[in-house]
Amino acid sequence: MSRIFNNFTFNPKDDILSGLTVALALVPEAVAFAFVAGVPPMVGLYGAFMMGLITSLFGGRPGMISGATGAMAVVMVHLLMVGNEVGESLETPIENLGLQWLFITLLITGFIQMSAGILKLGKFVRLIPHPVMMGFVNGLAIVIFLSQLGLFKEKVGGEMQWISGSTLYIMLALVGATMLIMWLLPKVTKKVPAALTGIIVVAGVTILGGIDVSTVGSFIKDGGGDGLAGGLPTFQVQIFGLIDTMSGHWGTILSTAALLAAVGLIESLMTLNLVDDLTETRGSGNRECLAQGGANIVNGLFGGMGGCAMIGQSIINVNSGGRGRLSGLVAAVALLMFILFGAPLIEQIPIAALVGVMFMVVIGTFAWSSFRIINKIPVADAIVLIAVSAITVWKDLAIAVIAGVIMSALVFAWKNATMIRARKRMKDDNTKVYEIWGPLFFGSVQGFNGKFDPKNDPQKIEIDFIESRVSDHSGVEAIRNITNKYMELGKEVVLTHLSPECKDLLLRRNPEFESHIETSIEDPRYHVVTDMLDKEV
């Protein structure tokens, strides 16, 4: 309990100020992602509030910010479209049925994510290689940058068009001013969050100077919203009466829920690792899975669009000094206060100020060192890094990370498959010894088999595994098969320096091997990754 209390009290000033900065940045992001998904702006804002509140209190990474995200918003689009089509085709049409389906889907998403936490699957994020991590941050930086370019458009005649002329120059000047403040202020003092100062200064200049610029309020109205003013989230009891409308569409519901859960967990656990590196502390992936799942369930019950960890806002928070749970709590509560009471003020903040903040996040997120090391790392790692960055931009984060891990695993398997060796020598008693070196697993089995010559070998054979490691079921089966070949030819074969588990697995299939396995105090100790073997001999 004292540790949790310390997470809220050890750095209150910085946590509060950085939380306020994050709350300001959350407003346009939540609204923008709501438009991407095709839901009302308030659904996005409620989602950001509930995600931020619950994960800040119970999540696995103090200082990490969660809210509505673009990666999950993109996944929701098809579900919403199908749901709305079904709602319009009913005998008694139901308006926004897709949104109601989304709330139900978030309940399933939350249970999947909580199950991942209960089963302690969060630790598997450690299997993500460094080139994938670098590709992830580079791709995400590019995605954040590209998402901000859409804010350089304005509605003209009902269509969004790129701004030009004096409007463009003013916006670029305000973006540049915000970035300059964020770059210079930390060189003078770090007691005041640079991002918050930049937003306040630029907002003050535009308001006091009467400069006509795009603001948060105009951005919401251009997207079809009525403004930020709203009430508290309400319990969505009606969704339980709409489950029968899903008949025939459960495949879409469940696949969307699974994809949302996967995207959310991958993005959150990757962000957790990144914040761990920035703060030189360690978060809990399993606890984050539980908290995020619970937050998505609450979103489904109270009308939010759900979400996950947000790397941009998390970096803003950490760089502004927010390291404890209080920063996330302040951000969530401040966002709600903006919705309830501060809408008129927030709506006057220039979009340019928020774009400037996000551009600085892009600069801080991108792994610039990747340009320096790209020609100094293995070619395969360089390809993985570039591929993950490209797939993140082209598709989404989850697909990019999964593809990167698969590519890295295949490269690793191939390299290890070519490492199997067999040194051969003869003993004085005419026993031929095969000294195996390298890992024996599914990828190296063919190479292992090619080392032996059962027909032409002498009567006595010894296969020594002191410098090898049998890694999986395929490796065990390879040993069993080569031993059987020698036995079928009536030759004596002895297996030495096998781990106790290897011996046990071999004897389960071939009890007669007991006389062919030599036990030694030098036998290695390791486990074999294998399925339950068949019982037939």
Q: Is residue 373 domain-resident?
A: no
327 and 442 in a common domain: no
Q: What is the pLDDT of residue 390?
A: 93
Beta strands 431-440; 421-426: pairing state: antiparallel
pLDDT tens, position by position, 333-357: 999 998 888 778 778 889 898 888 8
225 and 326 in a common domain: yes
- Distance CA(121)–CA(289), nearest Å, equals 8
- Distance CA(384)–CA(131), nearest Å, equals 6
321 and 423 in a common domain: no
Q: Is residue 529 domain-resident?
A: no
Q: Is residue 117 domain-resident?
A: yes
Give the type of residue at 474. S
pLDDT tens, position by position, 124-153: 777 788 898 888 888 878 887 887 888 888
φ/ψ region of 457 (left if φ > 0, alpha if ψ in -120 to 50, else beta) reads beta
Give the type of residue at 18. S
Residue 428 tokens read as 């004085």
- Distance CA(211)–CA(214), nearest Å, equals 10
252 and 136 in a common domain: yes
pLDDT category, 38, cuts 50, 70, 90?
A: confident
444 and 332 in a common domain: no
> Could you tell me the end-to-end alpha-carbon distance of the chain, in angstroms, rounded to an integer?
57
> Nearest CA to 74 among 290, 393, 386, 406?
393
- Distance CA(310)–CA(314), nearest Å, equals 6
Task: Give the CATH number, domain containing residue 444.
Answer: 3.30.750.24
423 and 343 in a common domain: no
Q: Is residue 217 domain-resident?
A: yes
- Distance CA(463)–CA(517), nearest Å, equals 10
440 and 330 in a common domain: no
SS3 154: strand
For residues 483 and 516, is the Cβ–Cβ distance under 8 A? yes
* Model confidence, pTM: 0.71
Q: What is the pLDDT of residue 149?
A: 86
- Distance CA(161)–CA(442), nearest Å, equals 56
Residue 13 tokens read as 């000033």
Q: Is residue 203 domain-resident?
A: no
For residues 120 and 265, is the Cβ–Cβ distance under 8 A? no
Structural domain of 438: 418-518
Q: Which of 309, 329, 347 is the last residue of a domain?
A: 347
Statement: residue 392 has pLDDT above 70: yes
Instruction: State the total domains in the chain.
Output: 2
Mean per-residue pLDDT over the chain, rounded: 87
Statement: residue 97 has pLDDT above 90: yes
Q: What is the pLDDT of residue 153?
A: 83
Q: Is residue 195 domain-resident?
A: no
- Kindly report which listed range (315-319, 362-366, 394-398, 442-446) carries the lowest average pLDDT score: 394-398
SS3 182: helix
Q: Is residue 268 domain-resident?
A: yes
Give the type of residue at 444. S
Residue 242 tokens read as 């709409």
Statement: residue 244 has pLDDT above 70: yes
pLDDT category, 66, cuts 50, 70, 90?
A: very high
SS3 517: strand
pLDDT tens, position by position, 402-460: 899 899 989 988 888 888 999 999 999 999 999 999 999 999 999 999 999 999 999 99
For residues 390 and 134, is the Cβ–Cβ distance under 8 A? no
Q: Is residue 440 domain-resident?
A: yes
341 and 253 in a common domain: yes
